[in-house]
Chains A and B, each alone.
Chain A
Amino acid sequence: MVMCKDVVENIIGYIDAELDDKTLEELEKHLDECPECQVFVRTYRKMLELTGKLRERTFVTPEIRERLKQLLKSKLKPN
């Protein structure tokens, strides 16, 4: 019998649509009937959507950038 555990342990394959038909069918049957798993999948997807947005944040401050530039400038143009 399919348990929540099976949904959890197959979540990567489920999200990436890499499961075989039989497994997928069984998991979806469980998902239809299990509110806990529904929330698990929804929050899991949402998490991936949000963490992908972290990429757009800038970390290198203008000060760090300036110090890097000065350093590289001296190395690129040896006297």
Chain B
Amino acid sequence: MIGTVTGQRGKETSPPDLVNTTDEKLIELFISSKDERAFEEIVNRYADKIYRLAFKITRDYYSAEEILQEVFLTLINKIDTFRGESKFSSWLYRVTANAAYMHLRAQKKYENDVSLEDYVPYDENGTLMGRIKAKDWSDKPDKALLSEEAMEIIEKAVNELPEPYRVVFHLRDVEGFSNQEVSEVLGLSVPALKSRLHRARLYLRDKLSDYFYEWSK
């Protein structure tokens, strides 16, 4: 039933029989009997993830909401284009990523493509000497690192990654996808995305060190 807001953090509870049902089964139910509750369960499962990915690509809350709506409309209207060749979630994220890139193109909002390909933390001699230890934040207590303020700092740092790196990092290290899944969603080869992930992580570790160093002063 649409419209009951219960549960934590604004999420809704679904009937218990659907909560434990796989995505693929829910989709089957939706296609075969237009089961609305099955559709709602999919919405509950994926709204946040879709919105986050859309925002990570566009960095615009308004666009992210439009994309969120578009993706679910696509799901209603074009569910038959999902042929079960990939996992449902990969398909859904691919639809989301495509919609987000379309938005970027439509708004002609290209970011300056900053390349991190040459980004390295070490000096020309290949040493880190004097570059890392001075800003060690690894021994900060979890209480501080997991605080809302620290999480905001981390979120901000991720958002500052240049676009192609940001999306790969988001899917792989925030959402926790496997290389294979990221490759399917973005249509990128595994070596290409591994290379982007590597540069993204190096850059982000540096950024975080700067932020946390400033933060604790």
Does B65 reach chain A (CB closer than 8 Å)? yes
A35-B133, A55-B175, A62-B10 given as contacts; is B68 within 8 A of A43 (CB)?
A: no
A contact residues around B65 at 8 Å (CB): 64, 67
Q: Is A72 in contact with B129, judged by CB distance below 8 angstroms?
A: no
Does A79 reach chain B (CB closer than 8 Å)? no
Whole-angstrom CA separation of A52 from B202 in the bound complex:
16
Does A69 reach chain B (CB closer than 8 Å)? yes
B contact residues around A50 at 8 Å (CB): 145-146, 150-151, 154
**Nearest-Cβ distance from residue A48 to partner chain B, whole angstroms:** 6
Chain B interface: which size bin?
Answer: 35 or more
Q: Is A44 in contact with B205, judged by CB distance below 8 angstroms?
A: yes
A55-B175, A68-B68 given as contacts; is B205 within 8 A of A43 (CB)?
A: yes
Pick the contact of A47 from B34, B136, B175, B201 — CB < 8 Å?
A: B201
B contact residues around A68 at 8 Å (CB): 43, 47, 68-69, 72
List the B residue with the shortest CB-CB distance to A12: B198
- Chain A residues numbered 1-54 whose CB sits less than 8 Å from any CB in chain B: 3-6, 8, 11-12, 34-37, 39-40, 42-48, 50-54
Does B187 reach chain A (CB closer than 8 Å)? no
- Chain B residues numbered 1-30 whose CB sits less than 8 Å from any CB in chain A: 2-3, 5, 9-11
Q: Is B146 in contact with A54, judged by CB distance below 8 angstroms?
A: no
**Nearest-Cβ distance from residue B216 to partner chain A, whole angstroms:** 13
Q: Is A36 in contact with B10, judged by CB distance below 8 angstroms?
A: no
Does B128 reach chain A (CB closer than 8 Å)? yes
Q: Is A59 in contact with B36, judged by CB distance below 8 angstroms?
A: no
List the B residue with the shortest CB-CB distance to A65: B10
B contact residues around A72 at 8 Å (CB): 2, 39, 43, 72-73, 76
List the B residue with the shortest CB-CB distance to A50: B154
Whole-angstrom CA separation of A37 from B99 in the bound complex:
41
A43-B137, A65-B10, A76-B36 given as contacts; is B3 within 8 A of A59 (CB)?
A: no
Q: Chain A residues in contact with chain B, CB under 8 A? A: 3-6, 8, 11-12, 34-37, 39-40, 42-48, 50-55, 57-62, 64-65, 67-69, 71-73, 75-76
